[in-house]
Amino acid sequence: LETLERWTPTKDPGGGARTRTPNPLPYKRILDDIGELAIPGAVQALAFCKDVYGEGAIQMVPPYLLLAEANLDLRRLQQAEEFLSLANWTVLKNPDCSSAIRSQLHRNFGKLYSAQERFADALRELSKDVYHSALEVGPEHIDTSVGYFHMGNAFYGQQRIENALAMFDKVVEIWYKFLSSVRAEPERVEDFSEAQLNEGLDMLNRILEMRAKLLGQGHIATGEANYTVGLLLLFMGKHQDALKQVQAAHDVYENHLGPEHSSTSDVAEVLRQLQSSSVMFAEGDGGKPGEDGLPGTAGSAGPFGSILSSFPDNLPRAQTQSPIPLPPKSRQVATAESDDAMRMSPVDGVRR
């Protein structure tokens, strides 16, 4: 039964409140944009929970939320709202409900309201999501970063560009800190699922796209997004894709700050290590190709293979020019006028 639920209890890396990792199959299918296939598993989980725990039990909330997420993914907003209402009623009847569940409930309401273009309501719900997620796992946790990301989408929907960029900057910062900490504490890898990392990559790619759109490809903030995406790709074992992103980041920093700047040197060092590893893979290191067609390493184990062995030794964060300057006013107007042709859905980020 637990493998079908939305969250699985795990040990908290910081030794505090435990976190719940979104790694079951139905949720993975939602992240893979095949929400239709997630629905049967969630329905079965709901039936099991009802049989085991009884009607109105708090254990029924995760399947309700899975069904809501799947219907949001499929743009079936009325069905999603119905499942969220059922989940909300169950939470109201169980006042001792965990912050983790409350966080996900408010997050999904926020995504629903964003899809309905009720952005003020969405921001209210998403602020509650961030609050409860911070209580459960901390304000700097990658789970909490998802709430910041959706808040950024809602601000963007209101054309509050500065606020949106600030939220996106927070997401990038959290993921960079996470990648740095994993190098220092390799055992933390086990606390995070492949689905979480894929969700993070999806968010960071969309932030990169949004920064490039609003600020320009050559802006320092866009380069930092390139850099962070590259580090996450490297962490996931996708070395060739990582090389492209870090190379793009290096070009931005070198052009914007100059080759002698400390931030440029940091990115150049990671680029050098990636280029060296690419040569090693091209020459053959005795490993087997990974599932994504990239070379692996002999003796690798686990879903992420030899991630840690190829992760750079030093990961100083490239300095951000903060606060992020807004684009020229004329550019903001042009951005608003082009939204029909290039718009990010607040629910799934797919350009419609």
Separation of CA 99 from chain center: 19
| Contact partners, residue 177, CB within 8 Å, separation at least 6 | 140, 317
Spans in the chain with pLDDT lower than 50? 1-33, 283-310, 319-352
Phi, psi of 343 (to 5 degrees): -130, 135
Q: Give the type of residue at 352.
A: R
What is the structure's pLDDT at 270? 87
Superfamily of segment(s) 1-159: Tetratricopeptide repeat domain (1.25.40.10)
| Contact partners, residue 55, CB within 8 Å, separation at least 6 | none
What is the structure's pLDDT at 275? 86
d(CA 201, CA 83): 28
Q: What is the pLDDT of residues 244-301, one digit of tens each?
A: 999 999 999 999 889 888 888 888 988 888 888 765 555 444 443 333 333 333 333 3
What is the structure's pLDDT at 55? 85
What is the structure's pLDDT at 279? 58
Domain ranges of the chain: 1-159, 192-328
Report whether 5 contacts 63 (CB < 8 A).
Answer: yes
Q: What is the DSSP string of 178-226?
A: HHHHHHH-GGGGGGS-HHHHHHHHHHHHHHHHHHHHHH-TTSHHHHHHH
Superfamily of segment(s) 192-328: Tetratricopeptide repeat domain (1.25.40.10)
Fold agreement between 1-159 and 192-328: yes
What is the structure's pLDDT at 182? 78
Report whether 219 contacts 209 (CB < 8 A).
Answer: no
What is the structure's pLDDT at 350? 37
What is the structure's pLDDT at 225? 95
Q: What is the pLDDT of residues 220-244, one digit of tens each?
A: 999 999 999 999 998 888 889 999 9
What is the structure's pLDDT at 276? 83
d(CA 209, CA 180): 23
What is the structure's pLDDT at 326? 43
